[in-house]
Structure 1
């Protein structure tokens, strides 16, 4: 096993371990029987409404990534959608968000793009998502009584994502960076390709990417709200800010496949802040994973199987 494979293996083990710990912490607050009872009594109609908003969410995510990749290569909406859905499917079945690397590799091979440039565009996605999640945490904190864990989570995540955003923004600048010239050619080439993936940050198109991100997270919030309604949890928009902030932040960190464990704990923690039993939060997280993430996983795997087994000769066409 090569060094790269060992790193991937270890990262995967760490993600599974993190998910297992958070799942244990979530289930300590309730019982599986109670969660199963809530799931069996859930309102399927609200789950279908959630699926509709989640579908719209994915369409806007495809549009955003297409805009980010346009600085590298112009691709059709369908082409970008194929890569994103396949990548999301991989993310849901691989631990520690390794699906993001799979997405970069898949798009690079299929559309003859630099993998480093694609990784750069994905970095911009994740950091923008992180900043919006932090904004939700900050605003949601105004409507939650004193909570030390939520305060710490807000401060740490704000510092982290702001630091990363500033670093990416500086790296994307056109100004000369003499220190790069001192690097070995192979590393320098990868950094320059990575910077190409960040190039949208220095253009007028970045405003459009930010606007798309805001729409995406509005749809994400409505999706979560609908799933919570399905398990008889009714929250106002102020309270949903905290749910979106905590639950979404849990999906941005390396965890088990399908965010198992981290999602359960995040939902249980946030709904308990507003007087609901943790079991309803765990049920909402599980319904999200089965009904929403499961759907995109099936679609992504179906697309991947089709283009690799049914039409393997078209693997590298745009």
Structure 2
């Protein structure tokens, strides 16, 4: 019954995302001649498009390196090149399937790399908290220097930033009290033998892994690369937007690039269609029109930006998944695909 309810919720979210995408696509192209939009697309400058694509790829590598640093040394994979293909598969799933399966895939795929479930879960929680905090910091920096659009979700963005601060504070408190929490978990799990000993051991190990994994930012040596890579990923993201403006011969204004980057990130607050089709275009048109860009050029840039942002993730994620699939020899086709995507536990050889 619970599985059926979850399936219905996910289906409803997926259908709502598709409806949102269709509406956004209609809004971004309403009243425009497709021939004019096509002509504007053909005017794009290839060198700057390549620069934008390179920035997207750079963001992917930076985020993979940051994820590697978020693991405690005792759980850390041998190389950040281990986290890169896993992250690419996860991001591919997130952009193509509007059900946020990517985080499940990350846990499953890292488990195949002999990295524990608990340590991976803790890195994902810390990572999301950092991203929320970064959004709040960027919005706080831009508010005094740029005229934000009337529709910009300022309160939501600031709330995300405050949530990031609060969540990081809670995680720090949990980490500081981890020894007491480990003892408490042991007592609860062993209380009057309500769980079989095998399950007690598994759950207690999971609790220990999660608690120990929350300390990535508690020392300067671990925190500096994580904070630096977080800043670098946002700088590369903003550079992508600046390169796209240059590609279409528009003035390269960094505050415009920052607002566009933040707005696209905040679009995750609503259900989105596969590949964000329509959503990126509508956000781009709304943002650039506020800053005085002609609507035809804004629509063309939005369509190109959709491909630039999503294309590399799908290609790199598809490549990583196919590489994994090619190494599998056991199981039927469906099982091998599920293992390749990290959505099913891989059997031990």
TM-score of the pair, normalised by structure 1: 0.83
2-structure distance, mates of 1:96, 1:278: 32
Alignment of structure 1 residues 282-301 onto 2, 5 Å? 282-301=299-318
Deviation at 1:47, TM superposition (A): 0.7
Q: Which residue of 1 aligns with 2:91?
A: 88
Q: Which residue of 2 aligns with 1:98?
A: 101
* Cα pair distance change 1:146/1:221, threshold 3 Å: closer
Q: Aligned to 1:202, what secondary structure does the other structure show?
A: coil
Contact 1:87 1:103 in 2 (8 A): yes
> Which deviates the most, 296-305 or 28-37?
28-37
Of residues 226-235 and 9-18 in structure 1, the stretch that sits farther from structure 2 once superposed is 9-18
Q: Equivalences for 1:79-228 in 2 at 5 Å? A: 79-108=82-111, 110-145=112-147, 147-150=149-152, 153-173=153-173, 174-175=176-177, 176=180, 181=185, 193-204=209-220, 205-228=222-245
Cα distance, 1:164 vs structure 2 = 4.1
| Matched-pair contact (CA < 8 Å) for 2:52–2:308 | no
Name the counterpart of 1:240. Answer: 257
TM-score by length of 2: 0.76
Structure that is richer in helix per residue: 1
Alpha-carbon shift at residue 277 of structure 1 (Å): 2.3
Whether the 8 Å contact between 1:29 and 1:278 is mirrored in structure 2 is no
Structure 2: unaligned runs, 5 residues or longer:
190-194, 331-338, 341-345
Q: Is the 8 A contact 2:89 2:321 kept in 1?
A: yes
Q: What is the number of equivalent residue pairs in this alignment?
A: 314
Q: Equivalent residue of 1:105, what SS?
A: helix
- Displacement after TM superposition at 1:29 (Å): 6.5
1:11-50 alignment, distance < 5 Å: 11-28=13-30, 30-50=32-52
Deviation at 1:168, TM superposition (A): 4.0
Q: What is the aligned-residue RMSD (CA, Å)?
A: 3.3
Q: Work out which of the two has the higher radius of gyration on C-alpha atoms and give 1 or 2.
A: 2
Partner of 2:294: 277
Contact 2:21 2:276 in 1 (8 A): yes
List per-residue Cα deviations over 1:70-97 (Å, max 9, x = no partner).
4562211221111111112222211143
Deviations 1:156-181 (A, max 9, x none): 22113322441243134322469x75
**Residue 252 of structure 1: how far off its partner (Å):** 6.4
Contact 2:136 2:159 in 1 (8 A): no
Contact 2:14 2:99 in 1 (8 A): yes
Gaps of 5+ in 1: none
Tell me the distance in 1 between the aligned counterparts of 2:295 and 2:73. 45
